[in-house]
Chain A
Amino acid sequence: MYKKLIAALLKRGLQALIVALIVGLVSFAMMQALPGDAAFRIAAGRYGYDLMDAAAAEAVRQELGLDRHWSLQLFDWLKALAQFNLGESFIYRGSVSEKIAVQLGHTLTLSLSALFVSILIAFPIGIYTGLNPNGWADKFFLQLSIFVRAIPPFAVGLTLVLIFSVHLKLFPVAGFRSFHHLILPAFTLGIGMAAVSNRVIRDSVLEAMHSDWQLFSRIKGLPSGLTLRAHVLRNAALPSVTYIGVQMAYLIEGVVIIETLFAWPGIGHALIHAIFGRDIAMVQGTALTLGLIYVGLNLVIDFLCSFIDPRSAKS
C-alpha cells in the first residue's frame, strides 16, 4: 500500500519537474519573441509612461541585465529555480514567490469553487438523464450542453455579468472583497466544465444501469434505490472522476481568462498583467505555478480514483 503511494508520488513528482522545465522554457522563449523593447515597457510599468525616458529604460536594462545574451538570462533563472527561488519581480518591489503566495490562495479559492459548482450541476443532471435516457430532459440537456460548451468562457462570463450584475443587480460586476464576488466567476468556469462532464456522467450511469451486475443486484432482492446508491453510483463515479481530472486543463486555462475578466487577483490575473508589463520573472513564476496546480489537482484525482477503484491499487 505504502509502496504504491510512494510510487504515485514519485511519478507525479517527476511530472512536476518536467512541467516546470517546459513551462519555464516556453514562457521564456515567448517573452523573448515578443517585439519591442522590454526595458522600455518595464520602465513604463515601474514609473508610468509620463515619468520615464530613455535614460530610465537604460537604467532598467542595466539593472536587470536585459542586454546579456538570452541564454545567460535563462541560465540564471534556472539556477535560481533549482534553489527554489523565483527571483524578484521586474516591476513591483518584492519577490515573485511572495506575490504568488498571496495570489495562489485566491486562485485556489476560485478553482475549487468552480470545481464544486460544476460537480453540483453535473452530477444531478448526469444521474437524472442517465436514469431516464432519451427523455425530454436528456434531449434538452444535450442541446444545452452543446450550446454552453460552444461559447468561449469569457463570453459566458460577460453574459452572466450582463444578466446578473447589470440587469438584475444581484452580484457585483468584478472584484473580490466578499463571497458575493466569488459567485459569478465560479459559475462561469463551473458551467463550462459541467457542460461536458454531465454528459460523461450520464453515459457512465447509463452503462452501469445496463450492466449484468445491476440486474443481478435487483434480482437478489435489493430495491432500485439501494442498488443505485450501493452499486450504480460508485461504478459510474469512476469514469466521471477520471474525466473531471481531464478537465483540469480547461480549468487552468479558464482561470487565466476569468480572473482577468472579473479582476480577481489570482495567479491568472497576475500572469496577464506580467505579460503586458514584460515582467519576465513574474510570467515564468505564475505560469510555473499554474502548471504545478495542474499536476497537483491530477494527483488528487489519482488518489480519488484508487479510493473508488481498489483494483488498480492492488493488481
Chain B
Amino acid sequence: MTLLSVKNLYVFIEDKQVDLLGPISFSLELGENLTIMGETGAGKSLIAQAILGSLPTGLKSRGDILLKGEAIDNLSPKKRAALWGDIITALPQEPWLSLDPLMRSGQQVAETHRYFKSYNWKEAKKQTEQQFKKLDLSDTAQKRPFQLSGGMAQRVAFAAATAGDAELLLADEPTKGLDSHRHDKILSLLKAIPQKGDSLLTITHDLDLAYALGGKIIILKNGKIVEEGITHTVLSSPKASYTQALCAANPSSWPPLSSCTISSKENILVQSEKLRIGRNKIAFIKGLDFCLKAGESLAISGPSGIGKTSLLDTIIGSIKPMGGTLTRAEHIGKWEIQKLYQDPPTAFPPLISLKDNFKAVTKKHKMAWDQLLQLLENVELDASILERRPSNVSGGELQRLSFIRALIAKPKILLADEPTSRLDLITQETCLNLLKKLCREENIGIILVTHNQHIAEKWAHNHIDLNQFCV
C-alpha cells in the first residue's frame, strides 16, 4: 500500500515567488525505505518540512502530497499537526536542541506514551523503560539533556519520536557529526523501521548510510532530481555525472595519498613525547608521541569523547599536559595557532555582515583589503559574498570563509576540528583539498581532527589513531 506519494512538489519563497526546490516526485510504500541525497544547503531538509507541514515562515510548497491516498498539502496547519506522532514523525537534525533542556529524558519519552495510549504514568514509565533498555539508555532516564552525549541525545530523541508508533519516520541527517560506532548504532535503529512494516524517509549526505540502508534512492542537485532508482544499483553504477562525482568524493573511494616529500628535521612546529592528557585530573590519553613540521598535515582520529578536543586544547596551551612533554617552536606567536570549527554557522556572529567581520579581522592583523580579495579568489569565492550575512551563505562557502579568516592571522599551525563533517561529500572533498593546498603554499602545519578513518588515512601525511593511546 502506498503510504506517501509526492507529485511535482515545489518549495518557494512566498514573497518573491522564487522556487528553491522542485519538481520533486516520488512514492513510498509501507515497509519501504527511501533515501534522498544531495548537496549541503540545497534544501533537502525542505522536503521533510514540506511533508510535515513545518516549513519556516516565508516558505510555501505547492504540488500534491498524498498520505494514504488523501491529499494533506491543503489541510489546515492544525489538521497537519494532528498527523504528527500518530502517522508521521521525524527524527530531529539537532537532537540536543530538540529535547526540552529542563526535563528529564525519561519523562520526555514517557509523556508521549502516556498521551498516545492513554496509559497512566506508571504504565507509560514502564514502556519508556523497555524502550530505553533496547536503546542502551538504561541509566539515562533520570538525566537531563545537558548531561547526555550527542549520541545519547539522539537515541532519546529517537525513542520520543517513535513512541507513538507512527507509520512514517522522516530522518533528516541522522548521522551528522556521529563517529563510526554511533553511526552503526543509528543505522541499525533506522534499518529496523522498514523491517517492522513502517516506512522510512532518510535525508542525508552520508553515502555509506544510504548504501547500508538500501531501498530506493533519489539524488538531488540544485533542487531537482538528477537520478533515482534502487540504492545499490544507483550507487554502484551511477549514470548521472553528479552522482558519479558524489560517489568519487566519498573518502573511501579517494585515491591513496602520493608519497610525502617532507623529511627534513627542520621546521618542527610542535612535538610531543610520552604526552599524557586529561581534564580535572582524569587522564584520557597517555604515551602520545607526535611531531608536526611546517607544511605538513597530521590527522587525529578516534571516537567521540576519546579526548580529541582536549588534545587540541593542550596544543593551543589552554590546558596543561598531565605528563610527558609538549614542545612548541619558540618562534610561534600568540596569533599563529588558529582553529577551524566544526559548525561554520556557530563560528560567525549571526547579525554582523561578513564584510564587517572581515574588516575587523584584517584590521587586527594588518592585512590589506586587496590581499583579502586575492585570498577569496584563491578559494573560488566572489567578493560579493561579503555583502551577505552568515545565514545567507551555504555551509561550504562559510567554511571556506572561515579558512580565510584563519589565514589572515598568518598562522604557523592550523587546528581543524571536524571542519567538514556537516558538509556534503563533494563540498567536503573540495574544502579539504583546498585546505591542504593553502597550507602547503603558506607552509602551515595543519592538524585535522576527524572521526572518518578514510579521511585520516588518505588525506594527511601522518595519522594518529587515538584508540591506541587511550587510557
Contact = CB atoms under 8 A, between A and B. Distances in A.
Contacts of A50: none
Contacts of A310: 102, 144
B115 A235 contact: no
Contacts of B100: 213, 217, 230-231, 234-235
A231 B112 contact: no
B92 A212 contact: yes
Contacts of B81: 218, 223-224
A220 B89 CA distance: 6
A224 B76 CA distance: 14
A310 B104 CA distance: 10
Nearest to B88: A219
B97 A211 contact: yes
Contacts of A219: 52, 54, 84-85, 89-90, 92, 161
Contacts of B97: 211-213
B160 A216 contact: yes
Contacts of A309: 102
A64 interface: no
Contact of B94 (A212, A222, A235, A238): A212
Contacts of B86: 221
Interface in B66-114: 81, 84-86, 89-90, 92, 94, 97-103, 111-112
A217 B107 CA distance: 12
A235 B108 CA distance: 14
Which residue, of A212, A234, A308, has the highest number of chain B Cβ atoms within 10 A? A212
Contact of A311 (B99, B101, B164, B166): B101
A83 interface: no
A96 to B, nearest CB: 45
Which residue, of A213, A226, A310, A311, has the highest number of chain B Cβ atoms within 10 A? A213
Which residue, of B54, B98, B146, has the highest number of chain A Cβ atoms within 10 A? B98
Contacts of B157: 216
B116 interface: yes
Interface string A288-315: 0000000000000000000011110001
A215 interface: yes
Interface in A221-250: 221-224, 226, 230-231, 234-235, 238
Given A215-B54, A310-B144, A315-B146, A220 B102 contact: no
Contacts of A217: 100
A307 to B, nearest CB: 11
B163 interface: yes
A222 B54 contact: no
Contacts of A211: 97
B54 A220 contact: no
B90 A222 contact: no
Contacts of B84: 218-221
Contacts of B103: 230-231, 234
A217 B90 CA distance: 11
A298 B471 CA distance: 46
Nearest to A214: B100
Contacts of A223: 81, 115
B42 to A, nearest CB: 21
A220 B146 contact: no
Interface string B182-214: 000000000000000000000000000000000
A4 B160 CA distance: 32
Contacts of A308: 102
B98 A213 contact: yes
Nearest to A222: B115
A238 B103 CA distance: 13
Nearest to B78: A224
Given A212-B92, A216-B160, A310-B144, A221 B102 contact: no
Interface in B145-187: 146, 157, 160-161, 163-164, 166
Contacts of A234: 100, 102-103
B106 to A, nearest CB: 14
Which residue, of B86, B160, B163, has the highest number of chain A Cβ atoms within 10 A? B160
Contacts of B94: 212
Contacts of B99: 213, 216
A216 B154 CA distance: 12
Nearest to B97: A212
Nearest to B94: A212
Contacts of B115: 221-223, 226
Contacts of B92: 212, 215-216, 219
A226 B85 CA distance: 14
A36 B115 CA distance: 74
B164 to A, nearest CB: 4
Interface string A116-151: 000000000000000000000000000000000000
A215 B157 CA distance: 12
A309 B102 CA distance: 6
Contacts of B116: 221
B96 to A, nearest CB: 9
A222 B112 contact: yes
A213 B89 contact: no
A14 B281 CA distance: 32
Contact of A220 (B101, B144, B163): B163
A223 B86 CA distance: 11
A221 B111 CA distance: 10
Nearest to B147: A314
B101 A221 contact: no
A265 B50 CA distance: 64
A36 B84 CA distance: 77
A215 B166 CA distance: 17
A305 B321 CA distance: 38
A224 B80 CA distance: 12
A313 to B, nearest CB: 11
A308 B97 CA distance: 19
A223 B111 CA distance: 11
A224 B81 CA distance: 9
3 closest A-B pairs (Cβ-Cβ)? A221-B85, A216-B98, A212-B97
14 contacts: A211-B97, A213-B98, A215-B92, A216-B90, A217-B100, A220-B89, A221-B84, A221-B86, A223-B115, A226-B115, A230-B103, A234-B103, A235-B102, A310-B144
Interface of B: 52, 54, 81, 84-86, 89-90, 92, 94, 97-103, 111-112, 115-116, 144, 146, 157, 160-161, 163-164, 166
Given A212-B92, A219-B90, 12 more contacts: A212-B94, A216-B90, A216-B98, A216-B99, A219-B52, A219-B85, A219-B92, A219-B161, A220-B85, A221-B116, A230-B111, A235-B100
Interface of A: 211-213, 215-224, 226, 230-231, 234-235, 238, 308-311, 315
